[in-house]
Structure 1
């Protein structure tokens, strides 16, 4: 007799997980990390505390999951950035990065981390290790692949990834933490990505 959960039970578990993450995100944004309890999250999500604790035994684990999910890139059906064409590959990566940084709630999530960091340094660790670093490493791997494919000469892919992502985020994202009315239009964002690609191509294209 199989002990594996049925498709129905897996679907129910996934629905409850999604409800918990949605409720927790809303409460964290409204009340801050310290001002949000697991009991309140369970209440808003419409699940029992036992169900919540089964999936997320601590508030830190729940925040880790929110950060991890917020940095996931939905590229199902999208082709991999071509390693043999540096300009095309960087353009695709640049636009995906913009979509990631401009997601609803991304700025607010960073503000929570910054505000709560003195009391809860683990939030910064979660944002860095669960969110930013996996994405950064994917860009570094692409640049290393472009180097191997002969389309680029990148001896230090980590440094090159920092340069590329920094050129984009310094215009698109970081000002939003300090300027509530920062909202560059689509053409300005497109230009920022294009100029970052031009700079990288001039420096690294083989």
Structure 2
């Protein structure tokens, strides 16, 4: 079978991005239930055949929104163990960038709005988005504990505490307070304080 050329791959990726963005907008405007795949195709400027080829169901399309929103995290690039403050700073800044992107705010709004009628959306968001990222932070804390540079009895709780300190300032207010903005300097300060707190509590 002939593999698609680089050009055709790029075009397919561009169309996929248009579809995901259009779906996100329609889910926010009309609700997940009322936003049909046909309307998504029209908003994205692609044919229904093109959309159905990539996303045969609305659930598959929502999964793509989740994966796209969480994709820019660089989870595979785990900081090396040996310096708890340095490693947490890398992870914290990465997480801050992630939760402050508009796509992430939109995703949370869709999940919250549709939770009563479509709890499977929240499950998809958790299992395909948040959980893998959370697991990467938990695994990093385990490596620091095993290296003797952190005294952490419950890495799962510690990871929750660390990410919570960041998202509680950068993400959650943006969901409920119109016009909530955080300057880059403030974002850096939020991450740095979270790191200091973790090192003070768990540094060996």
- TM-score of the superposed pair, with normalisation by structure 2: 0.90
The answer to whether the 8 Å contact 2:65/2:107 transfers is no
The answer to whether the 8 Å contact 1:136/1:161 transfers is yes
Determine the structure 1 residue equivalent to 2:98: 100
Q: Which shows bigger deviation, 12-21 or 120-129?
A: 12-21
Determine the structure 1 residue equivalent to 2:86: 88
Structure in which a larger fraction of residues adopt helix: 2
Counterparts of 1:13-28 in structure 2, within 5 Å, are: 13-28=12-27
User: Residues 157 and 20 of structure 1: is their aligned pair in 2 closer, same or farther, counting only changes over 3 Å?
Assistant: same
Consecutive unaligned residues of structure 1, counting only runs of 5 or more, are none
Listed one character per residue, the Cα deviations across residues 41-81 of structure 1 (whole Å, up to 9, x for unaligned) are: 112222221221121111111011111110122549x9742
Determine the structure 1 residue equivalent to 2:186: 188
Partner residue of 1:164 out of 158, 162, 165: 162
The answer to whether the 8 Å contact 1:82/1:88 transfers is no
Q: 1:190: how far off?
A: 2.2
The answer to whether the 8 Å contact 2:169/2:190 transfers is yes
1:6, 1:111 → 2: CA distance? 37
Listed one character per residue, the Cα deviations across residues 112-159 of structure 1 (whole Å, up to 9, x for unaligned) are: 211111111111111111111111011111111112222212232111
The answer to whether the 8 Å contact 1:140/1:157 transfers is yes
Consecutive unaligned residues of structure 2, counting only runs of 5 or more, are none
Q: How many residues align?
A: 204
2:186, 2:43 → 1: CA distance? 39
- TM-score of the superposed pair, with normalisation by structure 1: 0.89
Determine the structure 2 residue equivalent to 1:144: 142
2:67, 2:190 → 1: CA distance? 26
Q: 1:205: how far off?
A: 1.1
Determine the structure 2 residue equivalent to 1:63: 62
The answer to whether the 8 Å contact 1:90/1:197 transfers is yes
